[in-house]
Structures are given as structure tokens and as C-alpha cells.
Structure 1
Amino acid sequence: MSVHPHAGKPARPEDRINIGQLVSDYFLKVPDVAITAQRVSFGTSGHRGSSAKISFNEAHILAICQAVVEYRHEQKITGPLFLGKDTHALSEPAFASTIAVLIANGVNVVIQNDSLSGGGFTPTPVISRLIISHNKIENQSDLADGLIITPSHNPPTDGGIKYNPPHGGPAEGEITKQIEQRANALIKAGLVDVKQIPFADAIQSPLLDQQDFIEHYVSQLDQVIDMTAIAKAGVRIGVDPLGGSGIAYWPVIAQKYGLNIEVVNPVVDASFAFMPLDKDGKIRMDCSSPYAMAGLIAMKDDFDISVGNDPDFDRHGIVTKSGGLMNPNHYLAVAINYLMTHRDWPADCKIGKTLVSSSLINRVAKKIARPLSEVPVGFKWFVDGLHDSSYAFGGEESAGATFLARDGSTWTTDKDGFIMALLAAEILAVTGKDPYQHYLALAKELGEPCYGRVEAVATFEQKKVLTALSSSDITADVLAGEKITEILSHAPGNNAAIGGIKVVTENGWFAARPSGTEEIYKIYAESFIDEAHLQTIIKEAQDIVSAAFKAAGL
């Protein structure tokens, strides 16, 4: 995809959304589940869509929430449900719809204490931490779970909702499939089985509880990050929340731990009109994109470490003086190497990575003699291991990760952008070198990776073929001039289906898999030789996929 001529530049008037129209469409447009694009559809991180496209409307939220209530009843989940929202325009009406259904169904709902006055935004990792904290100390018959209203880093036109069951992390595929199917059935039947009361009545209910989520989360951060080391070193930290849900947390963190933090952009605006345009010319709060992060990158020399997060704060972007915005894969490798050599965790704790993350992580794991577990795409695959502390770290290539508390106990079972950002400051404080300098040392010792990802249009039938590919369907024995050493259709870490294929050589690999929500497929690739070798891998990967489509008559 070519770079849009306005990428990295301020949003223009024509790039901004009509919030009034978006909210009006949320209430007035009604989905037809006979149309695939208008159905409830859970991808790797919840249901997402836009009210204008009739893919995220009131009917979707009412039905999803009723389906969640029924799932809770079936599973005998009787504790509180922690509810959060981010700063997208559609999150506010969806938040209200969610409360109206949950309270009508007798669910004890807990929200941030200023959520009903236009604020009260709650990051994803905070909901995860609340669930884990409750279920750790309360009677196990009174388990808590949670919902987060967010489409993550998606454009301002989008809305989203995701469910975290009592383990605190993203719901497994079996759970989301059940919720998805029930929600679509409820919409098809005209929502007659959805219980709902007026929002004005719901917020007066004794079932609705308001708490200080910020204090709860911030007060525990020193359990997972060496805040004292950061404070003593006087690390100057620049923070751009990208208008996201964690914006009110940073000043509290700074005050409580005596950190030198400056929030360089304190604006919350549901149109996100302050954002530089992303690579494709759209407003997108992607903290791993050099275009979306252009403002913070320009300030890199003003701080020792600069950090950004997406709207629900489950992703991180790390900017250093020495190297600018770090590639997410590079930072994951540095974070893993540092944590595994600076935490007193059991030697058998696993490093969890998605199989499309950099193989530099594999080389780091081998170097420090720690077990590695490669899983399919999706953070849900790390949840069980993080929950029982058998995984010390879980991270994915799209700049999302979390890790254990310093004492080896569970911190979160969902991605935590706060701790990944603060870890960068800890690394600098403790070692005297920033994460990019550590990356250069790792690359010099273990090899410098060239990483790329491309997308291509794919029909529903082609996506089915790609999902079902196995090693026997790949006839090639050489990739980019190197002998193919491994062809995977299942992840080696848990033997779960990849939903695609991964082909490996000594110095490179590619993985091809269909998108769960769009009519495209993605190719991820990496070379430890050079950029030209990477491009050859990508070209031959496309040829291999095309051959598989041709063999299927497509």
C-alpha cells in the first residue's frame, strides 16, 4: 500500500467525522443479520463496527449484552461486572445501552466514579486488574467479569465491545462464538427477549456501583514496575495518550511515585481531530505507526523516553532519543531479555509470543535459556498461562503485551500499555541505556531482522482455503533461496490451529492467514539477511498462496 500524501500531517476539515450523525445512526439504523456485514461478529478482540455502516448500532449492543447476561447465568457468574469505556464517540451511547440491559437483568455493575458525567474513561488493563483483584480475594462463588466499550485503535467512526470472563483476559473463541450466535438470534427475533429499562432508571438502581478505578490501579503499579528506580534516576518521560482512556491516570502516577512525567497532549476529543493522519490518510490512533505518532516523535529530544498508547491503553508505542519510534517486535525482544534477567521469576516460566512476532524473540529465549511458547494470533492464547503464572510474559507483534508482577504473581491477563510504557523507563533507569540501545546490542549479537506485513483482497472462499491449508498443500521446498525447514499449520506452543500457514527457513519465514473481520488476507514475513531477501520472501509467499487458490479452483 502506498503512503497517502497527507500521512503524518494534521487532520484536515474533510477528515473529521460528524459526531452528531454518528450517534444518530447508532440509535436509528437497525441491522439486518441476513446481511453478513451487519451481523454481530467477534474477531480477535470483540465486536467492532460503525453505526454509519450498520455494523455497530444500538441493536448490536443490546443483543450482545443480553447474550453476555445469559452466558453469566449459565456459568453461574454472580459477582460484579466491571464496565469500562474509551473515548470514541460511539462508546458513550453504547455505555448507556449496556448499563440499561445489565441492570434490567439484575447484574451488579461497577463503573468508574465519574463515568456518568462525561468522563470516567477506563483502560482495558484496568478492567483486567479489577477482575483479577476481586476474584483473588473474594469467595470463588462470587466471581467477577467485565465488559470494555472500545474499538481499540480504530478510526473515530468506529465502536467496539469486548468481554472478559472471570480469568480477566479476552474471552476464548468458544465463549465469543456462543455470545455472537445468541446476539444475532436476538436481533433476528426483533430483540423481544432482551430485558432493558430506561437509562434514567438504571443509573438510580442500587445495582449500579461507582468506584475509584484510578486509585485501585495506580496504587498497585509498584508491584509490577520498579517505580523507585525510575524516580531516583529522574527519567524524563513524555506521554501522549492519543486522546485515550488513560489520560487521567498519568498525573496520578506521576504524583504518587514522584515521577517526572509530562503529558504533551491532554486533549480528549471524540473526533480525534488533533491526530496526524495514518499511512492510508485516515485518522487512526495506532501508537505503533510512525505517521500517527508523528507529533510525539518530533519531541523525542525533549525527553529521555517518550510513550504513547491507543484509546483503550492495551497497546504501547516507545520513542527513544537514540532511535525514534521503536518497531514493536524490537521492543518486545528487549523487554523480554530485560525482564528475564532482572526479575526473580521461576526458571520454568515461559515466554509467550504469537507466531507472527519476530524470531529475534526466539533467539533471545535461546540465548537466556528460557522456554518459549509460540501461539496463534490473538492475545486470548496467553490468558491461561498468565492466569496461572506459567507464562512470565505474553506479547504480540501489534504492540500489545503484559507480564507478571515482580513477585511472580499474575498482574493482568490482558494487554497492558501502561506497564509496557513504564518498563521502558525502568530499563533506562536501571541499565543506563534506553531500549533502542539494548535492541542494537541484541541485533549485533543475534542478527538484525527485517520484518514486513502486506495485505491482499481475498474472497470468502479464498479465505476458507487459506484457513484450511496444511503442510501437504505446500509443494515448494525452497523459500527465497533457502531450504524450507518447517511448515506449520498448528502453533508449536499449544498445537492450536493457526488458521493459515507458516513456512520457515534458517534465516527467514512467512505466515499467511485470513483476516477475521475483513475480506483480505495478510502475509507476515521476516528475514535475518537483508531487506531484499525479505521482499523475495514476501513475493514467493504471495505466489505460494496464489497457487493454493488456483489448486482449489479459485
Structure 2
Amino acid sequence: MNKTIATKPFDDQKPGTSGLRKKVPEFQQPHYVENFVQSIFDALEGFQGKTLVLGGDGRYYNREVVQTVLAMAAANGFGRVIVGQGGILSTPAASNVIRKYKAFGGIILSASHNPGGPHGDFGIKYNIENGGPAPEKITNAIYQRSKSISRYLIADIPAVDIDKVGKVDVAGMTVEVIDSVADYAELMESLFDFDAIRELFKSGFRMRFDAMHAVTGPYAKEILENRLGAPDHTARNYHPLPDFGGHHPDPNLVHAKHLYDAMMAPDAPDFGAASDGDGDRNLIIGRGIFITPSDSLAMLAANAHLAPGYKAGLKGIARSMPTSGAADHVAAKLGIGMYETPTGWKFFGNLLDAGMATICGEESAGTGSNHVREKDGLWAVLLWLNILAVRRESVKDIAREHWATYGRNYYTRHDYEEVEADRANKMVDELRAKLPSLAGTTVNGMKIEKADDFSYHDPVDGSQSDHQGIRILFEGGSRIVLRLSGTGTSGATVRLYVERYEPDPSKHDLDTQATLADLIVAADDIAGIHAHTGRSKPSVIT
């Protein structure tokens, strides 16, 4: 029996870069989840009798919301819901399932790399039929609907057993519970030379993969150890936990410091990697060397032809604006298109669908390709393994050869987390007002060539996205970028990106922070970061 429940709008259901993210207690308010899910359905058209994909990263409150979405999907007229076993689907796996089974769309329950647990974060986002995040026109429609919603539809049904693979009928709708890993593993096997990687492991190659008690654990265990023959315990922390074991599932040098330390030790494995809460981010570390996400994108693009799925070459490369220009040099040498987009994977979707780009990446540890429409942490790890299996060189040697060929983009990101929103917005507003007067001036001995607020004109659909980050470009190719992040749940995160291009190989082994010190000082001189935030140093440096 379907019920219509009267409700009132919440005033805080505006989706951010990756859907709606809030603390768990906020989602646990009566009607809160239902209002947002109904707003998604009300913003869509033509899904009657169609298929919806549903899954999440297993964080606290995941199973309860899965049941709510199933009941609401039935009441709203979906014909089938494909749900990952146990309510689990990594974000890239969900994208693959949407595409493989030609679903109408999907709901992914995740707050990505944010902490979990009863007082941690939760999130809901909608992905469209190409498997990618909903574009702004849809997320805006969802938000507008959330401000006027007065009722939601829900079926009065018992809880569905989501732990048992198979099909059941629920209020006239089919619920199909699938193996969360199988379809994704099959896709990876079609892209990479698993035989070559098996031989690499047989040769004594040692690897450590940290799943951070998050969603990629079962995927890594199955692919790396069961299918590729990596030794037991190659995959660490591979049991997904609702609170990620009390840790922060963000694969960076702060929250995965134990992995970094292990990779810098004298007896380090050959290769280290990690992924985040929902499986769409990655950390790459070779013995004695950390590879920045920006450099990883460039190195993967330069070597992608070594993997069977990319042997025909790349159509183009896309990167988010704050990501370093390392990949630009690769695209120029390959003679292919290079696209600079705003932050947010949804901006890559049109380029991938149009066949204009093959590989995409963001400095925030996200890389992926046209195999799905989300960034994909384990995909990046497997492509690195394929490259290492073919080249039989160390990560450090591959990096040094790459820099000698293309030059090195020294690059860092400084995050100031949970800054009071008013103070952060005031800083950005004041900096934006300064922009017209900055060009031609000198700061800390460096001349500013250009200063702007990045705008993106989509070459496929013609849409325009403004105010995507403030850029200060200096003579000689150095730059500073400053923007506010849209992925947090408390206050504002101020992100400062600093970059300097160095073509001289004799200067490719310098300390990154020391190399960029004058630009970091210049950024504070221009924006007044410390004065506005009240912080003497960043929360996180990567």
C-alpha cells in the first residue's frame, strides 16, 4: 500500500559539488531523507517503470536509508531497483552498473572521503543515465523542489533482505540485489593486462593497498589478491566499517601517514596505494616517492597506451582548473585536446560522452577515464600496476624520466578546514574586488600577469559556470588559485593551490614547500588568508 505523507520543507537541502552532505543527526530528523529523495524524484521525468540503481559506501545510516529509498522508489513508480549486496556499491561501481544495465539513473549514499559514524557525515547524490553526477540544471531543480515540497510518497512494506543476492517483488516493483564487486571486476579485466600484472606479482613485486576500512576493501581483496595473485595481506583494512574504524577515510598524507611512512622506510614495498570512503579517490606512493595526484594524472596519460583498454591512444585529457598543468605538457606532446574545467566530476561528463576526452583528473586525488562517469580510485591503481608490469621500472624512475621529458610542476595544496563561513566568504569577496587592479603589479618580487575569477564555457552543451575559483597568474608560469570547497559539512574549507613549473632536470629533486615558499607568502600578502581565517597555518598540506 502506498502512502502520501504530508511534510514541510527544510531550508538547507541545497546539493553541493557531490550531492547533499550533512551530519548524520541532521539526516535522522523526521522526514529529512524522505523530503530530499522525493525532491529528486519530483525533479525527474519519465522514470515510470524504469530501473534505478542504489548503493552506498557502507557508512553509518547507509542500510536504513537504503530501505527508505526502496520504499519510496516503489511508491513513485520505478519498475526495478538494482541494489548492491548489503547496500554496498562504490561510487565508480555504481556508475558502471547504471551504464551496464541501462538504468534511468542511480542514488548513491556517500559522503565520499568525509568521516563516518553516528556523529559523522552522510550524503545522498543522484547520478544520471550516463552514470555521472547530475548536472547543475538537475541539482538546481532538486533544490528548488526541496523548498516547496509538501508531501512525499512511500510504500508501506517490510524491510527488504539486501544481504541475499537475487530478485524479490516489492509492491509491484522488482528489487534485484547484485554482487557488489562482480560487474566492476569484470570491467577492470577488460581494460588491463591481468596476465602481465600476475607475472609482476610472481616476480616478487610487493605492494600495500590500504582500503581504510571503506568501500574498496572487498573490491581490492577480490581483484588484487584473488584475481591477480598478490600475496595475502596486500589489501589492508579491507572490511568496510560504518565508522571507518574511527579513522578519516581520506587518502592523503595526513590521514594515510602510516602508509607514507611505510613507503619511505628502507624495507618499503615497491608500490603503495590507498582509496577513500566511497572508492573514487586514490593515493599513489612508490618506494621513497609520493606522486601528487596532478603528476599521477600526467604520468597515467603519458603511459596509458601500455594498457590494452587504451592502446589506441587518448582522444584528449581533461583536468579541473586547480589541478596542476603537468597533464597539459603531455597533451601538447601527444597532439591531443586539453580541457580545463571547474572542480567537480560532473563537468567531465560531457567531454567523455562527446568522445573529446579519454582520461580526466583532479588534484583532490581523483582520476578516471571514459570507462565510467565517475573518478575511480582502484582503476588508477590498476593502471599504475599495468604500467609497472610492462615497464619493469620503479615508480621513482618512471617519475624522474617523466619530469626530464616534460618538466616538473611543483605543486601543493593548503587546506584551512572548518573556517567560519562568514569570514571565508568575506575574504573571497574582498579578493574578488581586488582582481581588476592586480595585473601588472609585483608581489614578493614576482610580477602578476593576470588575475581572474575562473569561468567555464562548456564546449559541448554551451553552458556557462562562473565564479569557479580565483586565479593569480605570474610571469614565468607560476600561479596561485584560491577557492572555497563544496564537500565539507561544517563551516567552509578554504583551499589554496600553489604551482611553479621547472623545466630544468637539475632542479627536479628539490623540496616542494621550500620551492614554493615565495609564492605561499605572496598568496597571503594578496588574500590575507591568515588574517581572515584566524589560522597561523593550514589544517592539511598536500
Indicate the TM-score class for this superposition, using the shorter chain for normalisation.
Answer: 0.7 to 0.9
1:466–1:501 CA distance, 2 compared to 1 (3 A): farther
Instruction: List per-residue Cα deviations over 1:74-118 (Å, max 9, x = no partner).
Output: 255752111011121122222222222112212234344632xxx
Contact 2:95 2:132 in 1 (8 A): yes
Question: Which runs of 5 or more structure 2 residues have no equivalent in the other structure?
Answer: 1-6, 162-168, 459-463, 503-511, 533-542
Residue 436 of structure 1: how far off its partner (Å): 3.6
Q: TM-score, normalised by structure 2?
A: 0.80
Residue type at the aligned position of 2:143 = E
Cα distance in 2, alignment partners of residues 183 and 291 from structure 1: 37
Cα distance in 2, alignment partners of residues 55 and 216 from structure 1: 30
What is the number of equivalent residue pairs in this alignment?
A: 481
Matched residue, 2:196 = 229
What is the 5 A alignment of 1:417-428?
Answer: 417-428=377-388
- Equivalent position to 2:291, from 326, 336, 347: 326
Matched residue, 1:20 = none
Contact 2:440 2:447 in 1 (8 A): no
| SS of alignment partner, residue 132 of structure 2 | coil
What is the 5 A alignment of 1:373-384?
Answer: 373-384=339-350
Residue 195 of structure 1: how far off its partner (Å): 0.7
| SS of alignment partner, residue 114 of structure 1 | strand
Residue type at the aligned position of 1:200 = P
Residue type at the aligned position of 2:229 = L
Residue 329 of structure 1: how far off its partner (Å): 2.1
| SS of alignment partner, residue 379 of structure 2 | helix
Runs of 4+ with deviation above 6 angstroms = none
Instruction: List per-residue Cα deviations over 1:346-382 (Å, max 9, x = no partner).
Output: 56x1210011111222233333333211111111110
| SS of alignment partner, residue 200 of structure 1 | coil
Aligned: 1:394 with 2:355: no
Instruction: List per-residue Cα deviations over 1:206-255 (Å, max 9, x = no partner).
Output: 43222234222212212222222211222443322111122222333246
1:113–1:377 CA distance, 2 compared to 1 (3 A): closer
| SS of alignment partner, residue 339 of structure 2 | strand
Instruction: List per-residue Cα deviations over 1:373-398 (Å, max 9, x = no partner).
Output: 11111111101112233211111011
Matched residue, 1:42 = 15
Instruction: List per-residue Cα deviations over 1:241-292 (Å, max 9, x = no partner).
Output: 111122222333246633315222233332333x6xxxxxxx31111x2232
Residue type at the aligned position of 1:221 = M
Q: TM-score, normalised by structure 1?
A: 0.78
Residue type at the aligned position of 2:94 = I
What is the 5 A alignment of 1:274-353?
Answer: 283-287=247-251, 289-300=252-263, 301=267, 303-323=269-289, 325-339=290-304, 343-345=310-312, 349-353=315-319
Aligned: 1:158 with 2:121: yes
Cα distance in 1, alignment partners of residues 88 and 348 from structure 2: 26
Contact 1:90 1:158 in 2 (8 A): no
- Equivalent position to 1:538, from 520, 528, 540: 520
Deviates more, 1:77-86 or 1:350-359: 77-86
Cα distance in 2, alignment partners of residues 461 and 290 from structure 1: 28
Residue 532 of structure 1: how far off its partner (Å): 4.4
Contact 2:50 2:80 in 1 (8 A): no
Aligned: 1:148 with 2:112: no
- Equivalent position to 1:257, from 220, 224, 227: 227
Matched residue, 1:356 = 322
Percent of counterpart pairs with the same letter? 23
Cα distance in 1, alignment partners of residues 434 and 51 from structure 2: 44
1:538–1:219 CA distance, 2 compared to 1 (3 A): same
Contact 1:170 1:379 in 2 (8 A): yes
| SS of alignment partner, residue 524 of structure 1 | strand
Residue type at the aligned position of 2:213 = G
Cα distance in 1, alignment partners of residues 442 and 305 from structure 2: 35
Matched residue, 2:535 = none
Matched residue, 1:81 = 52
Residue type at the aligned position of 1:177 = N
| SS of alignment partner, residue 391 of structure 1 | coil
Cα distance in 1, alignment partners of residues 253 and 228 from structure 2: 30
Contact 2:224 2:230 in 1 (8 A): yes
Instruction: List per-residue Cα deviations over 1:478-507 (Å, max 9, x = no partner).
Output: 354333333343356746424332121224
Residue 418 of structure 1: how far off its partner (Å): 1.4
Contact 2:83 2:175 in 1 (8 A): no
| SS of alignment partner, residue 88 of structure 2 | coil
- Structure with the higher fraction of residues in strand conformation: 2
Cα distance in 1, alignment partners of residues 493 and 322 from structure 2: 17
Aligned: 1:271 with 2:232: no
Residue type at the aligned position of 1:452 = R
Deviates more, 1:490-499 or 1:522-531: 490-499
1:483–1:423 CA distance, 2 compared to 1 (3 A): same
Cα distance in 2, alignment partners of residues 124 and 220 from structure 1: 14
Cα distance in 2, alignment partners of residues 430 and 372 from structure 1: 26
Matched residue, 1:526 = 499
Residue 298 of structure 1: how far off its partner (Å): 4.7
Matched residue, 1:21 = none
- Equivalent position to 1:503, from 454, 472, 488: 472
Contact 1:131 1:144 in 2 (8 A): yes
Matched residue, 1:484 = 448
Matched residue, 1:239 = 209
Question: Which runs of 5 or more structure 1 residues have no equivalent in the other structure?
Answer: 1-29, 136-142, 276-282, 405-410
Cα distance in 1, alignment partners of residues 186 and 359 from structure 2: 22
1:498–1:370 CA distance, 2 compared to 1 (3 A): farther
Cα distance in 2, alignment partners of residues 318 and 302 from structure 1: 14
Residue 526 of structure 1: how far off its partner (Å): 1.4
1:56–1:336 CA distance, 2 compared to 1 (3 A): farther
Residue type at the aligned position of 2:35 = A
Matched residue, 2:93 = 126
Residue type at the aligned position of 1:47 = L
Aligned: 1:185 with 2:148: yes
Aligned: 1:96 with 2:67: yes
Cα distance in 2, alignment partners of residues 216 and 390 from structure 1: 26
Residue 421 of structure 1: how far off its partner (Å): 1.1
Cα distance in 2, alignment partners of residues 389 and 371 from structure 1: 11
Contact 1:50 1:57 in 2 (8 A): no
Cα distance in 2, alignment partners of residues 94 and 126 from structure 1: 19
1:51–1:264 CA distance, 2 compared to 1 (3 A): closer
Cα distance in 1, alignment partners of residues 329 and 124 from structure 2: 36
1:346–1:77 CA distance, 2 compared to 1 (3 A): farther
| SS of alignment partner, residue 442 of structure 1 | helix
What is the 5 A alignment of 1:404-443?
Answer: 404=370, 411-443=371-403
| SS of alignment partner, residue 40 of structure 1 | coil
Residue 473 of structure 1: how far off its partner (Å): 5.3
1:81–1:467 CA distance, 2 compared to 1 (3 A): farther
Matched residue, 1:15 = none
1:255–1:461 CA distance, 2 compared to 1 (3 A): closer
Cα distance in 1, alignment partners of residues 500 and 157 from structure 2: 54
Aligned: 1:369 with 2:339: no
